[in-house]
Amino acid sequence: MSALFSSLTLRDVTLRNRIGVSPMCQYSAVDGLANDWHFVHLGGFASGGAALVFTEATGVLPEGRISPACLGIWSDEQVPMLRHITQFIEARGAVAGIQLAHAGRKASTKRPWDGGGAVAIADGGWPVKGPSAIPFADNYPQPETMSLDDIGHVITAFADGARRAVAAGFKVAELHAAHGYLLHQFLSPLANTRTDAYGGSFAHRIRLLCEVAQAVRAVWPDGWPLVVRISATDWAEGGWNVDESVQLCARLATLGVDLIDVSSGGLAAHQQITIGPGYQVPFASRIRREASVRTAAVGLITEAPQAEAIVARGDADMVLLARELLRNPHWPLEAAHALGEPGPWPDQYVRARKR
């Protein structure tokens, strides 16, 4: 039997296979509200055979969005359309997951196809805050240093967002602590130069993420899994590194985190990444072994035998795909055929299944 197409149980939630959809920003919302684009985009992955379908980074506060066009979960008004989406995903046999996020110093930026960089206040942007007054890059907003009250407000917002996510029908919650966004900013000495209880030592730099995990776990149903996405390394001298990631993930496991989604980079504009097929898989493998926590592998995973080997070797418990699924939302069905498995074909599409 294929390891990739075996089920995976996290708490009381069982995934039909080991293939998930990575969170991918769509920059297509208005006032944080999901719409038909999100319904078709996310629903298509469920029909295509994926087991776990994550939303894009979903802002727990309006000022926590990456761009003015990003999804939000800070208002009850945002729940009904999200619930419509999760109901369809579940009806197709997949599990709906939400990525709860705050962009911190990387907020208030333009959509990629609009050129990126800061959105001016006059054009709908907003003042941004981060752990320290260090901008991500010259064309990004200048952040204000967060106060302790600001930090407490963010922790509460993550918990409130999780409550709304329950109402919206999500069964998996992921905290976005990767790619240079707020929770990652607190982890890295390159973005966090604070001298209080949230900066300096390793224990202080991981404090915010740990407190957010505890706050979300307290309101998230006991039978549903909590995931954290991390950047295992900043790929920059003096930044967050893999050794620290192992220590962090061992700590998160004690706080009720069930799986670590292991990515990398995004914190430093001067990062130097060595890219190749499956280049981040060794990070997921090491964290899985040394921190004794389940992991998901991501990054240039494109072929069925490659994904099968990752799971079969025990490098990770599942794989999350992004761009490959944008190219082919039915990749899981094709992978099943390649591996000699029947695959979770929708009844409406069975006539197209290869024999």
Q: Which residues are catalytic?
A: 181
Q: In this structure, are residues 118 and 139 in contact, taking their beta carbons and an 8 Å threshold?
A: yes
Burial of 299 (0-12, 13-18, 19+ CB in 10 A): buried
Q: In this structure, are residues 298 and 165 in contact, taking their beta carbons and an 8 Å threshold?
A: no
- Pick the closest to residue 51 from 341, 350, 276, 355 (CA basis): 341
Distance CA 36, CA 40 (A): 6
Distance CA 20, CA 42 (A): 12
Q: In this structure, are residues 126 and 174 in contact, taking their beta carbons and an 8 Å threshold?
A: no
Integer CA distances (angstroms), 32 to 23, 24, 59, 118, 137, in order: 16, 15, 8, 18, 25
Please give the radius of gyration of the chain, using alpha carbons only, rounded to the nearest integer: 19
Residues 6+ away with beta carbon under 8 Å from 336: 2, 5, 49, 342, 343, 344
CA 129 to mean position of chain CA atoms: 21
**Cα-based torsion angle of the residue sequence 103, 105, 110, 112 in order, rounded to the nearest 10 degrees:** -70
Distance CA 223, CA 214 (A): 15
Q: In this structure, are residues 65 and 72 in contact, taking their beta carbons and an 8 Å threshold?
A: yes
- CB atoms under 10 Å from CB of 13, counted, come to 17
242-254 and 207-219 helices cross at what angle (nearest 10)? 30
- CB atoms under 10 Å from CB of 47, counted, come to 21
- CB atoms under 10 Å from CB of 285, counted, come to 18
Distance CA 53, CA 258 (A): 17
> In the numeric block, which tokens belong to residue 34?
């999901």
